[in-house]
């Protein structure tokens, strides 16, 4: 870790009740990260950064003495009940030597409200003193003597880890950094079954559509890629970027990959999501709505041992559903979907504008009553937003109402 003063206390606080020893490896912090870690009784070791995450992780493993290892990054932390649940699981694993590791669920979260943007199965708990070491300079994974771990998936227990490190605001520099490391792996001919996938994902995040397409196609050709937890994702990168460059690709070409993806991953919400994007571009409104709703339904009961980034798209999905419902004259569902958008992001002006156009002929008191189901009358940010929004929508009566309400709360 390096310069993680903002995160390290939360991380260590979440694991202290279950830890017999805490080991922290620092790669050159200039803030008070180390001092904070020491306050939790951590043993501190310093490692000179060599652009290889596995090397740094393995250095930490060499210092550990426990029978089981919990391996968290500074920007990760256990959900409140996870330590207790994990302690019970480990008690049952003492005499069970069939497994090397225990599967956890990682939620990537964004913003002050900790909105979940994606989820994935992850290995963060494994046996110590067992020959397990990390492999790969980036997106490293633990292996035992070079082989995959035997992983215990505990169905009736939730072992949850939250991760803040891939917040949208931090993505550009991280993906640029990742590309440098991945290109080095390709130059050194150290390509594994995930290298092209990570290249495609990084280019996708940085808006490099052609490169995202190129590497997505290469990823799908990797012999063992279909066994990974991200096997579906190149189709997402591929189809989204082909649609972005739709002047270069025919709908028939894109549909071929969409059908292929649906055949392989019929229960994954992101596959139905990209199908909806395609149908929307084809102006097939009923099929687009059907696909979006199928994605939402599958997301609610998602239990595949795969990544799932669909939660990050929910705001856009509901907005599209509102727009598409409006196109076919279904005003009831249009209103419902705008409402869902605002439940996710109260400050989405476009959704509020769409909703307002449907209810604007109601009496001001009725509009206020309806908006009170979304917005907090005692929240300054909510009132300020509504004041400005109603001004833009030329409803002076409501703009003045929310202006007065804001001043009252602010006094």
Q: Can you read off the two tokens belonging to residue 185?
A: 């792996």
Q: Please answer whether residues 219 and 200 qualify as being in contact, where contact means their C-beta atoms are separated by less than 8 angstroms.
A: yes
φ and ψ of 263, to 5 deg? -65, -40
Q: Can you read off the two tokens belonging to residue 149?
A: 């771990």
Residue 124's DSSP bridge partners are: none
What superfamily does domain 169-278 belong to in CATH?
Tetratricopeptide repeat domain (1.25.40.10)
Q: Please answer whether residues 161 and 104 qualify as being in contact, where contact means their C-beta atoms are separated by less than 8 angstroms.
A: yes
Looking at residue 174, its pLDDT comes to 78
Looking at residue 374, its pLDDT comes to 97
- Residue 123's H or E segment, with its range, is strand 115-127
State the greatest distance between any 2 C-alpha atoms of the chain, in Å, as a whole number. Answer: 72
Domain spans, the chain:
8-166, 169-278, 316-410
Looking at residue 113, its pLDDT comes to 64
DSSP state of 147: B
pTM flag (> 0.85): yes
pLDDT along the chain (411 residues), means of 10: 95 97 96 97 96 92 96 96 95 89 93 81 95 85 92 88 74 82 86 91 95 97 90 98 96 98 98 98 98 98 91 97 98 98 97 98 97 96 98 97 95 81
Same fold across 169-278 and 316-410: yes
Q: Can you read off the two tokens belonging to residue 236?
A: 């997402």
Q: Which residue, chain included where needed, has tokens 């929508």?
A: 393
Residue 162's DSSP bridge partners are: 77, 107
- Burial class of residue 2 (count of CB atoms within 10 Å of its CB; 0-12, 13-18, 19+): middle
Q: What CA–CA distance (Å, rounded) separates 176 from 180?
A: 7
φ and ψ of 105, to 5 deg? -115, 130
Domain 8-166: give its CATH architecture.
Answer: Alpha-Beta Complex (3.90)
Q: Please answer whether residues 240 and 277 qualify as being in contact, where contact means their C-beta atoms are separated by less than 8 angstroms.
A: yes
Q: Please answer whether residues 126 and 102 qualify as being in contact, where contact means their C-beta atoms are separated by less than 8 angstroms.
A: yes
Domain 316-410: give its CATH architecture.
Answer: Alpha Horseshoe (1.25)
């Amino acid at each position: 870790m390096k310069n993680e003063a903002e995160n390290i206390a939360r991380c260590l606080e979440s694991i202290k009740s279950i830890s017999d020893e805490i080991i922290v490896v620092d790669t050159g912090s200039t803030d008070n990260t180390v001092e904070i870690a020491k306050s939790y009784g951590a043993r501190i070791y310093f490692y000179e950064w060599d652009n290889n995450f596995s090397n740094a992780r393995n250095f930490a493993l060499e210092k550990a003495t426990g029978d089981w290892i919990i391996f968290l990054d500074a920007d990760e932390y256990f959900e409140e009940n996870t330590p207790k649940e994990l302690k019970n699981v480990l008690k049952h694993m003492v005499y069970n030597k069939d497994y090397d590791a225990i599967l956890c669920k990682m939620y990537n979260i964004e913003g002050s409200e900790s909105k979940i943007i994606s989820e994935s199965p992850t290995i963060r708990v494994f046996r110590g003193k067992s020959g397990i070491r990390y492999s790969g300079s980036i997106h490293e994974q633990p292996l035992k003597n070079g082989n995959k771990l035997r992983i215990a998936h505990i169905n009736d227990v939730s072992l949850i880890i939250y991760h803040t490190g891939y917040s949208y605001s931090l993505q550009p520099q991280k993906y640029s950094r990742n590309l440098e490391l991945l290109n080095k792996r390709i130059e050194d001919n150290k390509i594994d079954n995930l290298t092209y996938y990570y290249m495609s994902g990084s280019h996708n995040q940085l808006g490099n559509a052609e490169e995202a397409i190129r590497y997505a196609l290469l990823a799908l050709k990797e012999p063992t890629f279909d066994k990974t937890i991200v096997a579906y994702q190149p189709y997402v990168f591929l189809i989204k970027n082909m649609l972005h460059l739709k002047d270069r690709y025919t709908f028939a070409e894109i549909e071929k990959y969409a059908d292929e993806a649906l055949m392989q991953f019929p229960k994954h919400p992101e596959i139905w999501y990209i199908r909806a994007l395609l149908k929307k571009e084809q102006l097939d409104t009923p099929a687009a709505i059907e696909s979006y709703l199928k994605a939402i339904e599958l997301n609610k009961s998602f239990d595949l041992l795969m990544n799932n980034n669909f939660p990050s798209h929910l705001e856009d999905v509901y907005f599209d559903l509102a727009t598409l419902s409006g196109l076919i004259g279904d005003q009831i569902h249009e209103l419902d979907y705008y409402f869902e958008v605002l439940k996710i992001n109260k400050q989405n002006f476009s959704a509020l504008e769409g909703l307002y156009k449907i209810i604007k002929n109601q009496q001001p008191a009725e509009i206020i009553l309806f908006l009170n189901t979304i917005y907090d009358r005692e929240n300054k940010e909510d009132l300020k937003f509504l004041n400005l929004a109603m001004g833009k929508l030329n409803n002076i009566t409501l703009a003045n109402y929310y202006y007065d309400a804001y001043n009252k709360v602010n006094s």
